[in-house]
Structure 1
Amino acid sequence: MKAIVIDEFGGPATMMQRELPQPVPGDDEVLIRIAYAGVNPIDWKIREGLMAKVFPHQFPITLGWDASGTIVQVGRHVAPSRIGQFVFAYCRQYGTPVGRGTYAEFIALPAAMAVVAPANLHPAQAAAIPLPALTAWQGLHTAGQLVAGETVLITGGAGGVGSMAIQIALHAGARVLTVASLENHAFVLSLGAHAAIDYRGTALADGLRELAPDGVNLLLDCVGGTYLSEGLRYLRPGGRMVTIAGVPDVLLAGELGVTAQRIVATANPAQLQAIADLLAAGTLVPPPLEEMDLADVTAAHAKSKAGHVRGKIVLKVAEQVAVNLADGIAAGRKNS
């Protein structure tokens, strides 16, 4: 199978397309023919070695953590009826070395991790969901302990995680404020955010002073940088900060009487199924997409690293996506 791999950490030139053996599913696994792979900031951070001390790794590394595709083979302990299902998944297995990724034609993973994709999503949209939506869900609910009626501030609201977090927080009954560039205010407001604040100059401080004079209950930080310390001052006493983009200043948090933590999303099939149900009902909508070919992975990483991506970049892997989608959705409806 073709795959995009790296043999060492470094710049874009370390990525190369290579033929690798097609994986064989274990007893409790399924083999997925990948239609689309999502591109996330974690991908280029892994490529550059910035996460080497966070995750164990094993070269060659096939990059990519989320995908959509069709189950084409199952292990001995998996129901044969799952063959043909069109699924999406966050494919990083907790506790295992980073090595097997989704920038490839096939991936084998535990059957429970592969959730039938909502029938109302295109394969490209399905691939854009797992990692961002699970990150948002776990940041707000698992780590953030969001309660209905609370005020939440989401930085980077126009990005893949931020755009899902706005919708998930609204569904939880929160008042949602978000930080985004002026060009993206119409977009984040269309998702239902109660107010959008520009991050430039004094606009953020002035906006928060007006919209949340006593501070916010929860800050979900998707940007990092100065938010890792300064963002703590946006919280009311007893407030919580959850960041996905760096290490927060926990000493300052203690001095201010708030809490701060960093999270990295983990695969959770039950949560992904709940997200799938909300997508199927139209309660959540997928982020805007920029679709690129797998061969254009260098450009995709450059755009992701530059920031300010509205929504999500996805890489097209399969050639017969439309056929896979039709067959897979029919099988998913029949077998789920």
Structure 2
Amino acid sequence: MAKNLMRAVQYSKYGGGVADLKHVEVPIPTPEKDEVLIKVEAASINPIDWKLQNGFARPFLPRKFPHVPGIDAAGEIVQVGSGVKSFKAGDKVVAALAGGGALAEYAVAKETSTVSRPPEVSAAEAAALPIAGLAAHQSLTQNAGLKLDGTDPQINILVTAASGGVGTYAVQLAKLANAHVTATCGARNVDLVKSLGADEVLDYKTPDGKAAKSPSGRKYDTVIHCTTSMAWSTFQANVTSNGKVVDTTPSFGTMINIAMKKLTFSKQQLSTVFTDPKKENLEFLVKLVKEGKLKPVIDSKYPLSKAEEAWAKSIDGHATGKIIVGP
């Protein structure tokens, strides 16, 4: 490999799926003003990655082709651009790459969306945090208005698809908010979700699980809805009259539902979360992992040479926690 080239994975068009992922050698990017160049030690796959490949939010988040995907990246800074004050070469970091680029040996990140990674947090754990961790954090704090320091009065929270990337974080963070947590997941992951702190766990294939009906008869003050396979109307009767439902998998259908709720003047609130890579939020999550208060759940790890297998597994939709890709 030439000195100034790196291995990367890219796709060339919308809608090409796994078949359009190609392994290439491309120039190592150069950090511009307020950017850092990271030697990638680990990246993770999120559903938003392949949804963007399929054209999701195309008018608002257009891709330039060929495109190197991947938003979550952890590694070591090897070069800083002009104006960077917080980091230097050799610093271990984790970053959210707004423009993608994590599925490569090197990636460029904005200083404002990059945070330090302490030695207690592995590269894989760090790479598992940005998109999924921030979605869970912001759903609970910004959409649902909860504090994660245990000072709120106890409320009842439902987390659907609790064994997925966002769900595993939502369960743990909800417990930090002093919530009673009911969760849904597949039968094989019931024990895992209980180990993350859920008070009640339902197999989503059972009658009660399909309706997300609490075994203790509780109604939910807040729902963190992490799946597209369960219509929110199926558990609406189990939400309090002024409860909040936060959809972490936004779609056109979600927007229609939000509009309809407003038209019916219901006090129940349905909202969606679009993850914002806020530096202070990501720093908070890294700190929790360092302190042992938050555990990233790793489903599997793939080398960069098998990134298409990781991509396919994410599309399949049955990963437990996060899928990691390394060099």
Normalized against structure 1, the TM-score is what?
0.86
Q: Aligned letter for 2:229?
A: G
Compute the RMSD of aligned alpha carbons.
1.9
Is the aligned partner of 1:124 residue 2:124?
A: yes
Q: Paired residue for 1:108?
A: 108
Alignment partner of 1:288 is 2:298:
yes
Residue 20 of structure 1 aligns to a residue in which SS?
strand
The structure 1 residue matched to 2:280, chosen from 253, 270, 284, is 270
User: Quick one: distance in 2 between partners of 1:177 and 1:257?
Assistant: 22
Q: CA deviation at 1:82?
A: 2.1
Structure 2 residue 176 is the aligned partner of structure 1 residue 166? no
267-276 vs 256-265, which moves further: 256-265
Question: C-alpha displacement at 1:233, in angstroms?
Answer: 3.4
What is the letter of the counterpart of residue 169 of structure 2? Answer: M
- Correspondence list, 1:172-191, <5 A: 172-191=177-196
Q: C-alpha distance in 2, partners of 1:101/1:234?
A: 42
Aligned counterpart, 1:192: 197
What secondary structure does 2:33 align onto?
coil
How far is 1:203 from its partner?
Answer: 2.1
Shift of 1:302: 1.5
- Offset at residue 180 of structure 1 (A): 0.6
What's the CA shift string for 1:93-150, capped at 9, x where partnerless? Answer: xxxxx4x421111112221321111322221221111111111001111112136311
Matched, 1:152 2:157: yes
Q: Classify 1:183/1:71 alpha carbon distance in 2 versus 1 (closer, same or farther; 3 Å).
A: same
Q: CA deviation at 1:80?
A: 8.2
How far 1:252 moved relative to its partner? Answer: 4.9
Q: Which residue does the alignment assign to 1:75? A: 81
Which structure 2 residue ranges, 5 or more long, are not aligned?
1-5
SS across alignment from 1:264: coil
Which residue pairs with 2:247 in the alignment? 243
Which of the numbers 312, 318, 322 marks the counterpart of 2:322?
312
Cα 1:241/1:54, change in 2 over 3 Å: farther
Give the aligned residue type for 1:224: T
Partner in structure 2 of residue 303 of structure 1: 313
Q: Distance in 1 between matches of 2:90 and 2:103?
A: 21
Tell me the residue number matched to 1:325. Answer: none
User: If the length of structure 2 is used for normalisation, what is the TM-score?
Assistant: 0.89
Kept in 2, the 8 Å contact 1:221–1:227? The answer is no
Deviation for aligned residue 1:305: 1.3
Q: Is the 8 A contact 2:12 2:20 kept in 1?
A: yes
Corresponding residue for 1:4?
A: 9
Question: Aligned ranges for residues 34-45 of structure 1 at < 5 Å?
Answer: 34-45=40-51
Which fold has the larger relative contact order, with Cα–Cα distance below 8 Å and residues 6 or more apart in sequence? 1
Alignment partners' CA distance in 2, 1:80 and 1:302: 37
Which residue of the partner structure matches residue 268 of structure 2?
Answer: 258
Measure, in 2, the Cα distance between the counterparts of 1:208 and 1:80.
48
Unaligned 5+ segments in structure 1 are 93-97, 318-336
Shifted more, 83-92 versus 116-125: the winner is: 116-125
Tell me the secondary structure at the aligned position of residue 61 of structure 1.
Answer: coil
Q: Aligned partners of 1:2 and 1:108: how far apart in 2?
A: 14
SS in 1 for 2:198: coil
Report how many residues are paired.
Answer: 310
Partner amino acid for 2:188?
E
Q: Per-residue deviation at 1:78?
A: 1.8
